[in-house]
Each structure stands twice: as structure tokens, then as C-alpha cells.
A = this chain, B = another copy of it.
């Protein structure tokens, strides 16, 4: 195998720093042959995981996990004051802001002083240390912006994080690297990369290198990256936290157990071994771990001694220890005249044989969907606020959106009660965001029409046909806002209890509509929370960055604008076809499954069979005790089973506005495939759950499209909804692939789309939330839509409760938009310019 690693002389282009902190605060290091050991005191503080973010902040519920950020920051600041040599790096602004708000003026001045002297440095500086697989780039930007704005507003330029710090994130995306580069970071460090990749990199001294993170942006998106020698914990035997049992440095000769000589010798030996994997005479030691430094004294007291006694022997050992930071370490690397390897792919998937972390791409799909919706509210309310000039800063929503980008939030790897807390925060944030939207649009309407101020109701549960206003009122207006830069045509579906309506568009033209029964699947999900018998469907046209208001009035008699009746057709021997002006979909008469898609504009037709399957989750076996978990996807075999029959009953509806097929696969699985007039995609609305588990098997449900495309193992996924990544089955670009996990090892994160193509045709599936997916067989394209595991930590992974007004997480309703195009990809790149 030829590895695609190109070497080039690349110097890291470090930013100019405007104050006396930053790189100027770094301690002088020693020249070769002295080995410089950069101790980087740090704490890794999950913004929610086993406990909620506020429980972590306060140190509440310590019976679950002992961790209290307030104490960590109190303690660290106290110890930094003790010696000007000591440094500390803090990362998660969601916590830092909570703490900062509670400090008095005196303490704030102390902290500012520590920041200005470069003793307290920030790395990353996002609200949370965001996941890179299941996050949308707009949310990543907001997460980083909210944290860094807090820093700049509070401390000024001295606090600017120079280095990104993604140490615990479960794999690393190319788009994240591009964003970091464009945000002005000089490098990124992380721990979790593929085990085989790490082995090879250690052997080749390629743990650190230069990442060309965007082809289109070229060097503007180049970023230095460093993968750690091992994990982000300290070297074995040198953890001095209250959570550790390593021996302290006992330097009192009058007491028993004096151990300085042994400790120094062990340390020097470890460092010389580690140095073999690095190019320069510098090593960074991450002196900290999860929720460490609750008593910073234990760390600094022992590190002070380590420094003192190791450096005492420097002439003999050629090993020099200093307090440092990620930025100072990077600064030292920059001064070394070495050639860095270059990289153009990403770091997905993360894992090792039988232990691929590709389950979290899909875990907690209800929460993943809710996060995407909340992010849309944030993006929209920011826009409306800007356009209207009114409305407060959506701080609760920004806080929530930042928090849920955390790598144990959107990933679905948090505990159930924490997922509930995230949903609650999103709900509170959405309420706040929608109040801003309300005020903004009311203001715009007022400017336009001198109306009195308006109070909108937001129908947040249309996905399960609940909206109190439309269910009960006989007359109401519908205002739809379009944040996009181009006019859109959308179909609105409102839960109603009438059969006949008059609908007027903003120009008082009458609008065509349809009324259809609420499906049984929807009734099952909504439970008693709504009572609409029908859904009212009509098209809305909304201008770019604007809104349209439609007036809906219930009619007591039938009117002509619902002139075409829907009709139900039970599937029989003959094939069924639905179509609009762009696409037509044909369903097999025998199986009821999708059979082919035709693009009528371009006159291309593709056989496409769509079906649901499930992988049986491994609970560990003789090869490995790894089980499918919120993190890991490990199917118990390579072949998925059909869910549940390979034939399905159909209901077909056809009208002048849309045509659709309803498929009932049995209890817990149904799908509506719909073509709206004027839309260039087909909508696949699936409802999955609760996944049955009485057979004792965990199940991971996929939606699979089997086509005749000859994609030769190649498929494409997006990177955080922005770049497109080319994936090849059973292959890694830069290290040998060992095919131990034919399914899980080929899974990649999908944020918004996955596609396969041949020379002529491309089939694209666009998703409404993040998933894991792959092309396990040629011509196939699969998306994991839901998973229910039985054997994780005594509980089940999936069970997002109603907290957060989002419905029942045991049942997932999602949308896939499927398009068939002639072969041509358009990729839009939004460039963020540095000043």
C-alpha cells in the first residue's frame, strides 16, 4: 500500500500578538540537545455528561461523579498567585462565565492580572469543546464566537486563545480545522485519533503536522495540528490530582519513604522514550484530566518539586522541565527548523479494531434533531434582530446552543437526565429566541403597516401535528419567515379540526389547499397533547430574508379551492407511481417498496430500492468485550436484517398539491414518501420507534437505498454541513486499513448529506439532523436513523423524554430529502476573512 502522505517544508505562521502576554509570556526553553518538557496544567471539564452542566459547575450530585468546577477555578487562581512561573490553561467558557459572574471586583482584578501576565491562558475558548462529527458549522461558529466574545469583552486581547484544544473530541473534521484556521487559531491539539494512525505517526514522528483543511480556501485554511503521544492525561505515575493515587514527591529526608531520586529517574526515562516520537526537542505533557485541579495545590506542589529536582540533574540528564501552555509549546515548535508532514483528509472515524466510535453519529436522534431546530431559531432570531433593530441578545439560546455542541451533548453520549437538561435548556432558549423573533417581526410589520404590536404563537410541534391555535381557532393568520438569501416555496401543514378553509396570500389572492387526515402514526406520537383530526396543507411563497403572512378562515361549506379530492389506493399487483413536475417515484406492486426514481427535467432514471434494516448490537464477544454503546457502533455481524417484512402495505394519496405514499412496516415503523408540487426532491418522512427489544437484542435501524449505481466503494459525506468529503470503503487515505469492522469501520458522520454517483448520475440524500452513514455495498447508501441499546451502563441509550417540548425520544420522526441529479456537484464555500 502506498500511503498518501506528502511532505513539504511548512513553517507555522504564528499570529502577531499585540500585548505582552500571548507568545511573549512564554518561558525560554533550552537548545538541543536538551529536551524541553512543557508541563501544561489543564482540566478537562465536560459541559454536561454524567451530570448536567450546572451540577458540574456547582459540584452537586457528587454521588454520580465527583466534580465541581467552581472549586477548580477557585483553586487554580489561588495557586497561580503562589508563583509567577506557574501556568494554567482553561478551555470551556460555559463554565468560566458562570464562575466569573460570581466573582467580586477584587477577585476579577486578580484574574485579569493573571491573564495579562500569561499565567492563566485560554485554549479553544469555545462555550464548549464542541463535537466535530454531529455539529453544523453555523453552530460551531456560534459556539466559538460566544466564548471568544466573552473573553474579548472581559479581558481584551490578552485572553485571545491562540491554540484550539479539542483534546477529548471523538475524531476530527476537516471543516472544523478550516474554521479554526479562519478564526485565527495557530494550531489545534487533540488526543483521539485512530489507533493504527497513531502507531504509524509515532513511528514516523508525524504526530504533529500541517493540515490543509480546505482546497478552495487554500492556505487561508491551513492549520497546524498535534495529536498527543497518548491520551490527554499525565504520564503514568505523575498524576497529582485528588483523583489519582500516584506517589507524591516525598523530599523530606527526615521522614520515611523519601523518593526524589526514584521519581526523577522514572520521569527522565519516560520522557526520553516519548521524545523518540517527536521531531523537535520539545514535548508537551498534559498535566491534568477530567475535572482535575479541584485541589490545584496537590498538582502544583508536586510539579514544583518535579521541576526543581529534574532540573537539578539537567546537566547529567539533558532533560529540562518548565511550566508551559499549548500556545507556548506551539511557539517553541515554531522556532524549531523542521519539516512538517501535510494532511488533507480528516480524522474520522476514531477508534481501534472492534471499537469504532461511529455510534455517536446517530445516538439520541431526537436530541440531535432538536438541536438542529434550536440552531435554526438562533440563526433566524439573530437575523431578525439585525433586520428589525429590536430584541435583546439571545443569551439563554446562545448558552444552550453552545452547551449542546459539547462532545457529550449532541453526540448523545450523555446520561438520560443530562439529555433532559439539554432539552430543557434548548426549550428555554427557543422560547427566548422566538420572543426576539416575535418582537422583531412585530416591529417590521409595524413599520410596514402601522399595526399595533403583535404577539405571535409559535407552533413548535408541527412535526407531530400539535398547534393549539390552529386546532381551536376558526380564523388565524400564518406568518412564515425565510432567513435564506433567496425566495422559497414551502408547504405548510397545520393541525386543524375543519375540512374547508379560505386561505389568502399577502396580496389577498386565494390559495389552493388540501385537508388530509392525521395519520395513525402521528396520532400515536402526539398522544393526548393535541386533538386535530386533520392537517391543512398549503404552499407559501416567502421572499428572501423576509416573511409572508397568510390568512386562514374556516369555511362552513365546501369551497372550490380544495377542488381535487385526495384518494386512497391500496397497493395491489400493479406498480404505483407518484410524481410532480420534476420527479416521479415508482413503487413495486408486490413489495410496496420504492423501485425507481426518475428525474423528468433531465430525463434520467435510476432503479432505487429503499428499505429499513437493523443491525443487531454486539454486547461484547470472544474477540473483544466492546459493545455497541452511545459511543461505539459494533454490529453483531455484517448483514443487517429487514425491518420487519420485505413487503409493505401502501396508501397512496394524490392531489393537485402533492402526491404521497404511506408505508406501514408494522408497529413502530412507518414512512411517508411525498412529492410536493414544485419541489425538486422527494421527502421521506420516517417514524421509527419505540424499537422493540423484548427479544433482548439491541437494534440499530438504518434506512438503505440500493441502486444500480457503480460507485466503486466511493461515497461522499459532508463535513459539518459545509465541505464535502470523499470516502472510500475499506480504505484510509494515510494509513493501512485493517478490515476488522466491515460495517462500523466504514461509517462516517453525516451532517446534512450523503451521496453516491457514477459518471452520469448522482443520488443525494439530505438529512434533517446528524446521522452516521455509509455505502457498505456498491450502489447502496445507508443512513442510521435510530438505535436502541440494551447493555449500556444498565440502562438504555434512547429515551429522550418530553422535557423540552420535543416529543418522545423513544420515537423518532425524521426527514430525508432525496434528489436524483445528473452528475454535477455544486459546493458553496462561505469564506470567513481574517482582518
Given contacts A66-B242, A242-B295, A295-B242, are A250 and B58 in contact (CB under 8 A)?
yes
A685 within 8 A of B: no
Which residues of the other chain, B, contact A344 by a CB distance below 8 angstroms? Answer: none
Nearest-neighbour CB distance to chain B for A535, whole angstroms, equals 36
B255, A98: Cβ atoms closer than 8 Å: yes
A294, B71: Cβ atoms closer than 8 Å: no
Picked from B54, B74, B298, the residue with its CB within 8 Å of the CB of A257 is: B54
- What separation, in Å, do the CA atoms of A21 and B74 have in the docked complex? 30
Picked from B101, B252, B295, the residue with its CB within 8 Å of the CB of A294 is: B295
Which residues of the other chain, B, contact A508 by a CB distance below 8 angstroms? Answer: none
B245, A54: Cβ atoms closer than 8 Å: no
Interface size class on chain A is 35 or more
B295, A255: Cβ atoms closer than 8 Å: no
Segment 228-259 of A: residues with Cβ below 8 Å from B: 242, 244-248, 250, 252, 254-257
Nearest-neighbour CB distance to chain B for A86, whole angstroms, equals 15
Which residues of the other chain, B, contact A294 by a CB distance below 8 angstroms? Answer: 242, 295, 298
Which residues of the other chain, B, contact A297 by a CB distance below 8 angstroms? Answer: 71, 74-75, 78
A55 within 8 A of B: yes
A256, B54: Cβ atoms closer than 8 Å: yes
Nearest-neighbour CB distance to chain B for A586, whole angstroms, equals 52
A313 within 8 A of B: no
- What separation, in Å, do the CA atoms of A102 and B248 have in the docked complex? 15
Which residues of the other chain, B, contact A70 by a CB distance below 8 angstroms? Answer: 248, 301
A796 within 8 A of B: no
Picked from B68, B98, B242, B421, the residue with its CB within 8 Å of the CB of A252 is: B98
Q: How many copies does the complex hold?
A: 2
- What separation, in Å, do the CA atoms of A426 and B365 have in the docked complex? 66
Given contacts A75-B295, A297-B71, A297-B74, are A60 and B257 in contact (CB under 8 A)?
yes
Closest B residue to A421 by beta carbon equals B256
A543 within 8 A of B: no
For the residues of A in contact with B, the DSSP-based class is loop
Closest B residue to A259 by beta carbon equals B60
A62 within 8 A of B: yes
Segment 7-65 of A: residues with Cβ below 8 Å from B: 52, 54-55, 57-63
A60, B250: Cβ atoms closer than 8 Å: yes
Given contacts A255-B57, A257-B54, are A245 and B75 in contact (CB under 8 A)?
no
Picked from B62, B63, B66, B254, the residue with its CB within 8 Å of the CB of A101 is: B254
- What separation, in Å, do the CA atoms of A244 and B421 have in the docked complex? 24
B68, A257: Cβ atoms closer than 8 Å: no
Given contacts A62-B244, A242-B294, A295-B294, are A252 and B102 in contact (CB under 8 A)?
yes
- What separation, in Å, do the CA atoms of A246 and B101 have in the docked complex? 24
Q: Which of A54, A59, A62, A71 has the most CB of B within 10 A?
A: A59
Which residues of the other chain, B, contact A63 by a CB distance below 8 angstroms? Answer: 245
Encoded as 1 (CB less than 8 Å from any B CB) or 0, chain A from 62 to 101 comes to 1100101011001100100000000000000000001001
* Additional A-B contact list (12), CB under 8 Å, known A71-B301, A78-B78: A52-B256, A54-B256, A58-B255, A58-B257, A61-B247, A71-B298, A74-B297, A74-B301, A75-B295, A98-B255, A256-B424, A294-B298
17 A-B contacts (beta carbon < 8 Å): A54-B250, A54-B257, A58-B250, A58-B257, A59-B248, A60-B247, A60-B248, A66-B245, A71-B295, A71-B297, A74-B297, A75-B297, A78-B78, A101-B254, A102-B252, A242-B242, A256-B421
State the 7 A-B residue pairs at the shortest beta-carbon distance, nearest first. Answer: A63-B245, A62-B245, A295-B295, A54-B256, A54-B255, A58-B250, A58-B248
Residue ranges of A at the interface with B (Cβ–Cβ < 8 Å): 52, 54-55, 57-63, 66, 68, 70-71, 74-75, 78, 98, 101-102, 242, 244-248, 250, 252, 254-257, 294-295, 297-298, 301, 421, 424
